[in-house]
Structure 1
């Protein structure tokens, strides 16, 4: 019988940092609203031993400072993910600070919290902004990170996806289309970069209880309740619920996984 009081049992609970020695870049990781996804992701990777580059178009130093205060290694870098020179500078700063680049989390996005807009009222500028940050930004960041990962013969790219890509979401055509493009990017990159030891996956969810989805949670509580009730596990999905899958996809535990659409939504969408 397993004896939890034995010395062997206690050794099971020793701290294991799955990302020790690795360097991760997380985009869209400034605090903004408290508990935004990117800052939670940066915290989770740092807790697993990664040295983290907290990147955002706004000041992300408070996030990096908080990670350092808890004993982690982190720097903040301002970046415009739609600008190739800015993204290349981000990757160069990661290498300059920590000597390498192993993990990229493409979290920067625009569109998840915008009001519903029917196609007749959707203007080109709004479409272009959502595509530029979400899809162009993910492409540019992967383009800058891939050769640096290839030099080490290993790397992980995690793109943030959405189940709206599969089930469709009316009146958010630009956001849903961008997320569909993200999965196409994931599949193509996985094929292209696999021979260089780089794995590329999409981590997707549905509605997450975080400030980016604040309008839905405050203005339409009945919709939120219906989404919650329809899940196999009828609970809210929180940013913390995504950190376990994220760390898995960033670690060597998932080395056999690439090109995949990994859904963490408590059973809200079954294909």
Structure 2
């Protein structure tokens, strides 16, 4: 998957408030059924909520109820895959807390998902609020856990999500956020922009050939894991993205390292066709053999 061409790694959704007739689909039908439940919940609890009507590119219908406490700064178009740093709490309608994250232990959210978290977090934090914004949202299960909920959460549960937008980060800021959050030390930066921090150091020789056996896992800077090779794989290094190959060539047999790749030495401005554009990548590496 880290070859120069690759398969899709995650699903994302881009939603818009443009008015249109929704398509007749299971997603739309479920959204309309859950809209009635949310209507009743808002009324019975005396909430002041605004009904938001969103659609995806295929015309599927997603009803959301927003209760904005503070809108935050002006919402502009997201460029170059900026990330949103959020604190949040996810609850069921029975007020059971499913997950909560404060600023100190939270994650980065992207406009179109790519976080391993419910899409409702992306929708609430990027469509309705800017930096400094705070709000509560009722979201349908199609933007929640859907048919794969965590333990204790019902199948296709409607969720209540509290979100605070702490900051909005460029690519370079995302990388610095990752380094600080993970308390990385001895980070070396090469002329290409690759950042590498060795966690286990040996005195073996560097790679002199064109192949290597590597155990690794690949992540976005928010921690979402998109690939893992837990037993090691033999690689022809020239077939892989430049930042990955460069990092491996800086390692000695038996060493472990964390390599941070700016997007320019990963998949760049077009995402290789299927990865998120302008996405910095993190690889946790172990060099098993420098063939």
Is the shorter-chain TM-score for this pair beyond 0.5, marking a shared fold? no
Is the radius of gyration larger for structure 1 or structure 2? 2
Give the structure with the higher percent strand: 2
**TM-score interval, normalised by the smaller of the two chains:** under 0.3
